Amino acid sequence: MIPTGIVRGALVGLSAVVLALTLLIVCIRCGRRYRQRRRERIAAPVRALLLRLLCAEEDDQSALLHRLAEIDKRTWTALEPTLTTLLGKVAGGARTALIRLYELRGAARDAVAALNSHRASRRGRAAQVLGQLAHRPAVAPLCRLLADRDPEVRLAAARALGRIGDPAAVPDLLESLHMPRSVPPGAVIRSLVSLGPGAQRQVAAGLRQEPLVRAVAIEVLGAIGAASRTSEIARALREDPETEVRIKAARALGRLGMPDGLEPLLAAVGPDRPTALRTVSVGALGSLGAVAATDRLVELLGDATPRVASTAARALLRLGPAGQGALRAVADDRAGGPASAQARAALAEVAVGGARHGVRAEVAL
């Protein structure tokens, strides 16, 4: 039996902790709101000027640009979050005007300096600004930031490098995947994809590195349409010891749509291969659009693994008239068992999808 005094003391202590935490949360929120309002108040007089600049004709921008470039540091700091937001949301003359404003203000130089700030929020915002400005001289310091102690800053640096579009950042982006302070693969992939076909050679260098890097490199090469890398990706599908890498290779071959992808994909659907690899490879045969795969896909309609069979049915649909004809023939075969059922299900799905599309079009009209 616990003495009543101890229970009472514990309850009082717990209540005090809850109260203190509540007060802390309220104080933090109030502080944040106060700072936000203060910033808005300081920026208010020049905000109208900024909107005029963004909506002005090119000939009228010059005077407004110079007025905005000369505002004091305190007002600029208050206005900067708005500028950063708008930089990512406007295009055309408005975006050009914003970039000119940053140039006149020397903001790119300040942002490069802010990459070394002790405050993570400043480093992150500086990276964001440099990315929006596509400021190439910032590539090296941004690459260093990929190993920042703050995960948000690492993410901001990866995004900024993608926006800047310099292939020189590829080795660091790939390396950031397996550093102790890593960048999530999804973010690295998006950045590498936005570098475009110009980064193909540097990305392909990742095919000889560790499994995660190989998988990412293959996915990126598929996404940027690096058709000249088909044979290397096909080799990865045939020979890579890691299933995950082979799955990425199968998907990439489907996306690239080159005839060289057919043979390794047909080999990868064999019954002795892992189910996930077989499923993706079957889907990739459909993406590839190779009519030569029709017979093999028809065989797979009766596969013992339902996922493989249903993917084969969808792949046949993607092959166009030849695949759809084969699917109909199997569906009409009443003694076809599971294969026939898969074919009928896929054709019914298409019919329902078509009907739904018709309803949508009617609503839109």
Partner 1 sequence: MAHVLIADDDADIRDLVAFKLAQGGHRVTAVQDGMAALKTVREQPVDMALLDIRMPRMSGLDVCRELRAAPETATLPVILITARSQEGDVEVGFAAGADDYIIKPFSPRELSSRVTALLNRVER
How far apart CA 135 and CA 163 sit, in angstroms, is 9
**Quick check: 204 and 221 in contact, CB under 8 A?**
yes
Min. distance of Cβ 85 from partner 1 in angstroms? 5
DSSP assigned state of 167: G
DSSP assigned state of 207: G
Exposure letters 262-282 (e unless 16+ CB within 10 A, then b): bebbbebbeeebeeebbbbbb
Min. distance of Cβ 52 from partner 1 in angstroms? 8
How far apart CA 17 and CA 174 sit, in angstroms, is 45
How far apart CA 41 and CA 53 sit, in angstroms, is 20
Min. distance of Cβ 57 from partner 1 in angstroms? 8
Residue with tokens 């999530």: 184
Min. distance of Cβ 214 from partner 1 in angstroms? 27
Query: What six digits make up the tokens of 17?
Result: 């902790």
Min. distance of Cβ 225 from partner 1 in angstroms? 19
DSSP assigned state of 150: S
If the CB atoms of residues 335 and 363 are measured against partner 1, the closer one turns out to be 363
If the CB atoms of residues 43 and 269 are measured against partner 1, the closer one turns out to be 43
Min. distance of Cβ 83 from partner 1 in angstroms? 9
Contacts of 58 (CB under 8 A, 6+ apart): 93
Min. distance of Cβ 35 from partner 1 in angstroms? 16
**Quick check: 313 and 345 in contact, CB under 8 A?**
yes
If the CB atoms of residues 47 and 296 are measured against partner 1, the closer one turns out to be 47
If the CB atoms of residues 163 and 278 are measured against partner 1, the closer one turns out to be 163
Min. distance of Cβ 94 from partner 1 in angstroms? 5
| Radius of gyration for the alpha carbons in the chain, expressed in angstroms and rounded | 29
If the CB atoms of residues 90 and 276 are measured against partner 1, the closer one turns out to be 90
Min. distance of Cβ 102 from partner 1 in angstroms? 16
Taking the CA of residue 183 as centre, how many other CA atoms within 13 Å lie in the half-sphere pointing to its CB? 30
Taking the CA of residue 190 as centre, how many other CA atoms within 13 Å lie in the half-sphere pointing to its CB? 11
If the CB atoms of residues 186 and 338 are measured against partner 1, the closer one turns out to be 186
If the CB atoms of residues 235 and 357 are measured against partner 1, the closer one turns out to be 357
Contacts of 194 (CB under 8 A, 6+ apart): 162, 163, 165
Residues in touch with partner 1 (CB under 8 A):
47-48, 51-52, 54-55, 82, 85-86, 88-95, 360, 363-364
**Quick check: 303 and 281 in contact, CB under 8 A?**
no
Q: Which amino acid is at 248?
A: K
If the CB atoms of residues 67 and 238 are measured against partner 1, the closer one turns out to be 67
Query: What six digits make up the tokens of 224?
Result: 């940027």
If the CB atoms of residues 2 and 48 are measured against partner 1, the closer one turns out to be 48
